[in-house]
Structure 1
């Protein structure tokens, strides 16, 4: 029972503190929440890793060394490769899950030696009758409340967290940029726009996928085309919405008098930016739309792309021998447009 309570409390805390609903983050939180009970062979994790738990149990009192801040620091150090090879949030989930679990035990009858090797026991209240009893009614109430907080935290993280939720309701432009900068590396980001097209003042209201931000503006796309707020769309209200988990990356493509031969990648959305020199500029025909962002421009023997979809670039450069470089921005999986 206590193992489940620790798991729910730690995942709720981490989801709320780190504004995340990433399954990997939550799984690491659960793992961290179980580590304090390695000091007893009767716990869930103690039975799974019996040799280790049995060794600790025979040498240290329950809720001492493994429930201490020293243990949290040790876990943070051991988990440091996650920081260097993945990101800081993933790394922090394991030690933070451990710390939250240890702190929750402060409210039980026994308490914990949080500052081990100092022998003092950290207990929340002086009256033993007000402390939680493992498996008692109080623990069920804590479990229910923690589960409710976890559900709320996961839902909040899907909107970018409490701050983003408030900013969204107010339609703050700065909040939309902040939401994009915080979450675009791990999620699809959408812009909800209320405004008009600069070319003809027609309504531009709708939901757009965000390709990039430039200053306080977004480069966005929907089924009708690619646009830039502040240039193609005059937005009276602009908010950002966090979508499903995804990845975005940048790849540099170099060409040296070679034929353009790049194929699309399944379940990705790719945009290219940069300037190339082409050998047959007269064969390139670019169709523009005054309402949309100019994604391709040909001057002499040089073609410049600006967030041009890869499929469009492939059609324009078919059969061309090119020199130069392109920056490819890759989104995976393909977002909903």
Structure 2
């Protein structure tokens, strides 16, 4: 086979093998370059070949000693060439690494692409009339198929047809290489199950193109939503400001049988925040635009919130006792939270009761002051106030003092209740951006 045919087949096989093993960056131009080099390297034993003319000082001695399609076209030659190339790449990586450039991830792929494409040359030459000595030094020629009528001669018209077929296969291999074999199969299946598996492999923001029906109304629905999570084998998506579950099950909000995940390059950022005695305004100010909040917010004692009704069945906000549980809640949704009428009326009643008790306490303190200060000195009281009247005043003063102490206790209790009911919040949340 000629160099162009070997080059195209080498690229094709490299892309397919790397895709099968889920290797990324297989479309990097350096990987394609080393795949081409590897695919023509076995012909270094032929001085008239492309690679032979470049390394003429190697190709001439090789041909004179071993001949064409012998040692370099064997498994031994493949292993030796891969080891030599690996050694060269390691040296290059060390030098470049010394210059503060990390190419370790690419270096492994360079070696893989060179080795795969080198082997592709040996495989393709087995379809040639002469075949190749895969198991050199065994002199036997290895061919596919055995019947020479179905094998090709280098440069023949049949090779041109093979070349164009390989070009088509190489082009088809590009998306497989970019997304990986598994991702490509999931894209072809386009089912919620395959979308779930694809989403689990991603670490960046992912979006879902879907078509389906709303289970509650049976109305058709289609669009693109951001995938947030997987819950009970259902995709949790943010679509038009609301959270829905999507699956091919009737229990989900959206029944869809045709879905595809679109990944992005934007990484998911999760920020943990712990707070204590913060006002509602301070908490809202800390939520960035587009951020989604998950976690638990501890509410004041006996506070009851009015949670807006969501369009889907997914509970993004739920009050459990004195805790507000949030799951992927936006700032806009938190702003819609309101106190229940019962809670507001209770606070108003407590304020009215506190005002009444304070007025009553002021009145009693006035009476006590009047009894204590009647304009008489101690000597005047002994002369002008009889014993019986003095005892009555003492008894009344004790009663008023006792009433005032009881009122003060009730006032303090109400103040504590009102303080506990102030809208200050504590808790721990995670903000997803």
Q: TM-score, normalised by structure 2?
A: 0.51
Question: How far 1:217 sits from its partner (Å)?
Answer: 1.0
Say yes or no: does 1:26 pair with 2:45.
Answer: no
Aligned counterpart, 1:239: 258
Q: What is the CA deviation profile of residues 234-279 of structure 1, one whole-angstrom value per residue up to 9, with x for unaligned ones?
A: 41x4233243664655645354669875756xxxx76554345689
Contact in 1 for aligned 2:211/2:258 (Cα 8 Å): yes
Structure-1 separation of matches of 2:134 and 2:207: 41
The 3 A distance-change label for structure 1 pair 300 and 239 is same
Contact in 2 for aligned 1:255/1:325 (Cα 8 Å): yes
- Kindly tell me the number of residue pairs found equivalent between the two proteins: 307
Aligned counterpart, 2:242: 225
Question: How far 1:218 sits from its partner (Å)?
Answer: 0.6
The 3 A distance-change label for structure 1 pair 211 and 106 is farther
Aligned counterpart, 2:124: 104
Aligned counterpart, 2:428: 324
The 3 A distance-change label for structure 1 pair 31 and 189 is farther
Q: Secondary structure at 2:142's aligned position in 1?
A: coil
Aligned counterpart, 1:37: 40
The 3 A distance-change label for structure 1 pair 129 and 161 is same
Q: Secondary structure at 2:26's aligned position in 1?
A: helix
Say yes or no: does 1:192 pair with 2:210.
Answer: yes
Q: Secondary structure at 1:8's aligned position in 2?
A: helix
Say yes or no: does 1:177 pair with 2:196.
Answer: yes
Q: Secondary structure at 1:107's aligned position in 2?
A: coil
The 3 A distance-change label for structure 1 pair 179 and 94 is farther
Say yes or no: does 1:206 pair with 2:222.
Answer: yes
Contact in 1 for aligned 2:209/2:262 (Cα 8 Å): no
Q: What is the CA deviation profile of residues 263-319 of structure 1, one whole-angstrom value per residue up to 9, with x for unaligned ones?
A: 56xxxx76554345689xx9x99755233644345667755432345x659989xxx
Contact in 2 for aligned 1:29/1:94 (Cα 8 Å): no
Question: How far 1:34 sits from its partner (Å)?
Answer: 2.7
Question: How far 1:141 sits from its partner (Å)?
Answer: 0.8
Question: How far 1:107 sits from its partner (Å)?
Answer: 1.7
The 3 A distance-change label for structure 1 pair 212 and 137 is farther
Q: What is the CA deviation profile of residues 50-109 of structure 1, one whole-angstrom value per residue up to 9, with x for unaligned ones?
A: 5xx567536655554476352587599789999x959x9999666444433432232234
Q: Secondary structure at 1:26's aligned position in 2?
A: coil
Of 127, 137, 146, the residue aligned with 2:166 is 146
Contact in 2 for aligned 1:195/1:203 (Cα 8 Å): yes
Aligned counterpart, 1:333: none
The 3 A distance-change label for structure 1 pair 204 and 2 is same
Structure-1 separation of matches of 2:266 and 2:81: 30
Contact in 2 for aligned 1:20/1:154 (Cα 8 Å): no
Of 121, 132, 137, the residue aligned with 2:152 is 132
Q: TM-score, normalised by structure 1?
A: 0.62
Question: How far 1:124 sits from its partner (Å)?
Answer: 2.0
Structure-2 separation of matches of 1:208 and 1:97: 40
Structure-2 separation of matches of 1:300 and 1:154: 55
Q: What is the CA deviation profile of residues 139-186 of structure 1, one whole-angstrom value per residue up to 9, with x for unaligned ones?
A: 221121122223444567879445753x44xxx55444345446x458
Q: Secondary structure at 2:25's aligned position in 1?
A: helix
User: What are structure 1's unaligned runs of at least 5 residues?
Assistant: 331-337
Structure-2 separation of matches of 1:326 and 1:140: 60
User: Which one is further off, 15-24 or 289-298?
Assistant: 15-24
Contact in 1 for aligned 2:145/2:151 (Cα 8 Å): yes
Question: How far 1:132 sits from its partner (Å)?
Answer: 3.0
